[in-house]
Each structure stands twice: as structure tokens, then as C-alpha cells.
Amino acid sequence: MSLVTRLILVILVATTLLGVVMLFTYDIIKLEWVSFMEIQPSYKPMDKPLPVAANSIPIEGAAYIPGMGDPVNPVPADEISIERGRILYSVNCAMCHGPNGEGDGVVGGALINRPANLTGDVTQSKSDGTLFLTLSNGIEGKMPALNENLSVRDRWDLVNFMRTLEPTQP
């Protein structure tokens, strides 16, 4: 056997051995050599959203701190806020709670759990913060949580608008 053939043989044996060893480490040393966009932590529309990443801060600041009681309304109930609330209400709430908030929306009538009459004393006697939390978190099995669809500001505008609702019949 010539020297060159021997050398080639040694290299062949060595690489084969290395290859076998690498196969065993496959599960231990995770080399990510192929990557697909769809293989990543993500969720599809209407999937349960991923939990918020630890230590992250919402760009609008904390809306409320769990366990610290009802938040205080930071948005003054001026003309602009109420007008914004009126528009948001007609888009997001009127189908259930009705055009005047009396719980008689087109969709609301078809629900087993009738939407609340927002003009009534029961609702109006609650604090702004309580209403805000209701909009944000929804009511299990009755009303959807709207914190995903509406910004913090939107929700306070809605609270301010809700305060202007009055029963049409005394």
C-alpha cells in the first residue's frame, strides 16, 4: 500500500467515525441548520394569545396593576373623548348593548345572556375603573374581552361616553 492510499484510508476512517459521533450528538447539540418561518412561537388568528413576555412594558404604560384595585380614569371627559367614545361604541358595542345602551342591540336580542342596560342605575353606580375592567376583561361566557381590540385610551373614551347614556323613557 502506498503512503497516499494509507493516508486516504486514515482520513476516510477518521471522517466516518466523526460522522457517527456527530449522529449521536444530534439530539444533544442542537444545530439549527434548516429554519422555516412557520416553525416559531406564533399564534393564528383567534388562537389563545401568547402570554406577555416577562418584564415587558406596554407602550401605553400599565393600564392597571392586578391586585391594586380599580384604576382611576386618567382621561378627562371632554368633548373629544366623549365623541371618540360615541364612535367606538357604535362600532364595538351597539350591536349588543343597543344604540342608546339599553341592552337592546340587534345581536343582543339573540343572546341567552342579555346585554346589560348601560343606562340603568346598576351600571351607572359603578366606578369608572370597574367599567374599564369590565370592558377590558369581558364577562366570562357573556361578553367578550375587548382589551385586544381597543387601546387603553379607547377604553377610557368608552367609559366617558357610557356616562352620557340616559334612559330614553323615564
Question: Which stretches of the chain bind ligand HEC, using CB under 6 A?
Answer: 92-93, 96-97, 107, 111, 113, 115-116, 118, 122-123, 126, 131, 134-135, 139, 142-144, 146, 158, 162
- The half-sphere exposure of 169 on its side-chain side, counting CA atoms within 13 A, is 1
CB atoms within 10 A of CB 118: 22
CB of 40 to ligand HEC, least distance (A): 32
Alpha-helix residue ranges (DSSP H) falling in 52-151: 79-92, 94-97, 121-124, 128-137
- CB 59, min distance to ligand HEC, A: 21
Q: How far is the CB of 102 from ligand HEC (least distance, A)?
A: 12
Residue placing its CB nearer to ligand HEC in the complex, 86 or 126 = 126
Three-state secondary-structure class, residue 69 = coil
Q: Which is nearer to ligand HEC, 9 or 91 (CB)?
A: 91
Minimum separation from the CB atom of position 49 to ligand HEC (A): 18
> If we measure between CA atoms, which residue out of 5, 165, 166 comes closest to residue 89?
165
- Which distant-in-sequence residues (6+ apart) come within 8 Å of 32 by Cβ? none
CB-nearer residue toward ligand HEC: 13 or 139: 139
